[in-house]
Structure 1
Amino acid sequence: MAKAKRTLTWQRDPEGMRLRILEAAKQEFAAHGLAGARVDRIAASAGANKRMLYYHVGNKDELYLAVLEGAYDKIRSEERGLDLEHLDPPEAIRRLIEFTWNYFLRNPEFLSLLQTENLARAKHLKRSTKVKSMHSPFVEMIRTVVRRGVESGDFQVAIDPVQLYISIAGLCFFYLSNSATLSVIFGRDLLDKKAKDERLAHMVGLVLAALTGRSAEMLDVVKAPKKRAAVAQTL
């Protein structure tokens, strides 16, 4: 009876079934990595069976690549909604940092997937026909913000947009992906609210100081992290 019910669901809503499979796979790969992930667990979590999984997505490697592509598409899609082109350049960079930080906090499975794929030397990502095209508009968006900042006199340097984003993402990623060991080493909980607010203020101040040539104190980002963090949560 249960098998017949699954078959009817599959036939009535094939796209819904595919999305459930991808969500279950994302959680499985994030928790266990590619090597430790099990197709039978993914199928069971999605309310499917292996035959349905292979039909909708493909084998394990194809499923993993589809999850990776979906993860990148999700963050790039949300970044496009930031509307950075219509903000003053310093505020646009501030918003990008706040978004990146809070996105990583809300989506820890994204960080796990990145770690898994980097351990594989991007072997699967290199096969993607979609990922590179996702990033070109995003890079151009940052390039435009930097150019406007230089033209307005807000920024002192026309920094490479790719380097700028890697620096922003790196400041967020390293802290969060290593928070367990760093908390032990430095004897403080790096994931309590106060520590996270301080980290966000530090990153905003650091990046804007590099771009503007002004100190973080002059930029008013160190002494009021709570207010800024609250704004970031609403983005």
Structure 2
Amino acid sequence: MIGLTTYLERAQTGVWDLPAAFLPHAYFDAVVRAGGIAVLLPPQAVDDRVADRVLDTLDGLIVTGGKDVDPARYGAPAHPETDEPRRDRDAWEDALLRRAIDRELPFLGICRGAQVLNVALGGSLHQHLPELVGDRRYQLGGGAYSSAAVAVTPDTLLADVLEATPSLDVPVYHHQAIDRVADGLVVTATTADGVIEAVELPTVPFGIAVQWHPEVDSNDLRLFAALVDEAARYSAEHTARHSSRTRHPEPAR
């Protein structure tokens, strides 16, 4: 069971024009094709108790793409090009990620998801990459993905998942990126101009976040397959622990 966080935006369908929770089909299609069961997680009021109750039902978590993280969360004023904040989604995904890390639930961050992870752990973001790289090569606009060549760091979990592929071209659509890397995160992929395209959290069995959009490459399911495989192991281990506790209950005190 893989939970995927969703958008909460104004949407039009038929005669309706109203706020709606939704997620592009490519995300959950990739999960299903990789052998998982997709469960959508719309933004809502959250605290640790709510986050834990949600995660109790899941074997893995994907924090998906979307609008920019509120810069107030990392102590910065908003850049003119930064989106209006989606504070409900920021709080929802932050809580889910923190509790997932605490229980070592396998997780994958995608685009915004990589930024949420870095900010949740104390890092910061570049709010507008064109000011650093000189153009909009990482976000062409109009919903058109561009391609970026990334170098993958050897001897990392990401390198293992990608079968030691030293470099690859990936689909990108982002005008922000990780700036100050949070303590505990390891950079695992970068572009030639130094943009961070992937990080991982070595203190958990499976915690990867990529700045690119693997869901739009239907021919490469390696990240999703790795998450689903790790989620299956997580489920089996926790089922075994629960069964053991059921067979051998603690003595009455």
Q: What is the TM-score with the length of structure 1 in the denominator? A: 0.28
Structure index of larger Rg? 1
Higher strand share: 2
Q: Which has the higher helix share?
A: 1
